[in-house]
Structure 1
Amino acid sequence: MTTILLPATPGAPGAGPGSGSRGAWWRRRARDGAVLGAVLAAVLVTVLAVLAPGTGRADPPTGPPPVGAPPAGDAPGTADRAPPPAPRPPAPARPPGAGIPAPGAQYSWPLLPAPAVTEPFRRPTFAYGRGHRGADLAGAPGQAVLAARTGVIAFAGRVAGRGVVSVDHADGLRSTYEPVSAVVTAGATVGAGDPLGVLEPGHAGCPVAACLHWGVRRDRLDHLDPLVLLRPARLRLLPWGADGPP
């Protein structure tokens, strides 16, 4: 083992004769020891405070929760979730005579008894021009809205706060009914005269308690007059030309 000799510290015992230098050295040692003891005591108190169960943890808040805070027990973010959708109204009864078209026609009235027309169809001058893309029919709030022909529900829900139901038919047309509280769901098959929902009030420009806006279109922008579909198909007799059959 190698022994390393360090030079004596001035004022340490043996550094020089005399009791004065030895007394100063011991006083400095005592002072340094007191400082070190205070530091160790502070560290010990901090460690015990961290390790002691329940110590150093924030107490649960008392009193009413802050404004806008979710109720206790709710998962974070639940206060921002949209409210659940309103339950669907019960399906109305199918009225007598529903789904029976006029002789030669393939579509029937979506309201019974046959309603008054409060605003007729007006074809737009161009695809996005002004017009009235359907016919408004006078009704009553809560009245059954019926499928004008057999088809498949293409949409049933709310658009800009208004209940809308659309039905795709086998002839390539789509009929639309609004405002309606739907009792059907997308993808369901309905027969002519089956209830689609109940009529809601609040249609703009309606002169009575409630009006049904009934529209029909072919493709995306080709809107048709739905009242024409209630009439029998019109036949036109054309003369045979010289190249016609004998």
Structure 2
Amino acid sequence: MLKLLTSFLLLIQTMTEPLKPPEIWATPIPDFDSRHSWDYHLPATEYGAGHRGIDLLVSPGQQLRAPFDAVVSFSGKVVDRNLITLLSLTGYKASFEVVCTDLTEGDWVSEGQVFGQACKGDPGYHEHCQNCVHFSVRSPYGYLNPLLFVGKLKPSQLVS
């Protein structure tokens, strides 16, 4: 019975895709260190209140550059604002809002290529910060802090 259980656990382990270590991406705007807020806050529950990304402080119309080689997995309006999501070759998704772009789903962007510009939401859209673009990162397991991917946050380590 122990052999069967061990074999089953090994099979399950090989079938599930492990979370890849964070990559280091290029920053989507110049002067990144001084032009973002550090307010990533993962909520306690999947649908709880939180801030699942960081805000990039931008000028109206400022261009944003792809932090990695990617395919556009979404480009369009969500309720009252434009959003674009870039899918990395390793499965991470980076989303940016409010961003206007001519790119459509399936388009390819190279690291450093301009993929859009900061814009305003529809009339009535309530911005949670003025002149900013929200930048979030997701893996198949949920949201992650974008600062980890641009080399500005070191991963936690358990010490004994």
Tell me if structure 2 keeps the 8 A contact 1:135–1:213. Answer: yes
Say which of 204, 223, 236 aligns to 2:127: 204
Q: Among all aligned residue pairs of Structure 1 and Structure 2, give the percentage whose two residues are the same amino acid.
A: 28
> Number of paired residues?
133
Q: 1:154 aligns with which of 61, 64, 73?
A: 73
Per the TM alignment, residue 235 of structure 1 is displaced from its structure 2 partner at its CA by 9.9
What is the identity, as a one-letter code, of the residue corresponding to 1:108? A
Could you say which residue in structure 2 is the equivalent of 1:108?
Answer: 26
Task: Kindly report structure 1 stretches of 4+ aligned residues shifted beyond 4 Å.
Answer: 232-236
Say which one has the larger Rg.
Answer: 1
Q: Deviations over 1:50-90 (max 9, x none)?
A: xxxxxxxxxxxxxxxxxxxxxxxxxxxxxxxxxxxxxxxxx
Residue in 2 that maps onto 1:144? 63
**Are the equivalent residues in 2 in contact too, given 1:167–1:176 (CA < 8 A)?**
yes
Asked if the contact 1:178/1:212 (under 8 Å) is kept, the reply is: yes
Residues 81-100 of structure 1 mapped to structure 2, 5 A cutoff = none
Structure 1 position 200, deviation (Å): 1.0
Q: Give the equivalent residue in structure 2 for 1:168.
A: 87
| Two-structure CA RMSD over aligned residues (Å) | 2.6
Q: Which structure shows the bigger proportion of residues in strand conformation?
A: 2
Q: What pairs up with 1:1-246 in 2 under 5 angstroms?
A: 106-114=24-32, 115-118=34-37, 120-201=39-120, 204-206=127-129, 208=130, 210-219=131-140, 222-231=142-151
Q: Which moved more, 1:130-139 or 1:114-123?
A: 114-123
Q: TM-score, normalised by structure 1?
A: 0.49
Q: Shift of the alpha carbon at 1:161?
A: 2.2
Whether the aligned pair in 2 keeps the contact of 1:163 and 1:179 (CA below 8 Å) is yes
C-alpha deviations, 1:87-124, integer Å up to 9, x for none? xxxxxxxxxxxxxxxxx962121112325223521011
- Matches of 2:155 and 2:48 in 1, distance apart? 29
Does the 8 Å CA contact 2:148/2:155 hold for their aligned counterparts? no
Native 8 Å contact 1:162 1:179 kept in 2:
yes
Aligned residue type for 2:139: R
Alignment-derived partner of residue 17 in structure 2: none
Deviations 1:17-72 (A, max 9, x none): xxxxxxxxxxxxxxxxxxxxxxxxxxxxxxxxxxxxxxxxxxxxxxxxxxxxxxxx
Q: Is the 8 A contact 1:172 1:218 kept in 2?
A: yes
| Structure 2 unmatched ranges of 5 or more | 1-21
Task: State the alpha-carbon separation in 2 of the partners of residues 169 and 140 from structure 1.
Answer: 26
Q: What are structure 1's unaligned runs of at least 5 residues?
A: 1-103, 239-246
Give the match's secondary structure for 1:227: helix
1:141–1:127 Cα change, 3 Å: same
Equivalent residue of 1:157, what SS?
strand
Deviation of 1:183 (Å)? 2.4
TM-score by length of structure 2 reads 0.73
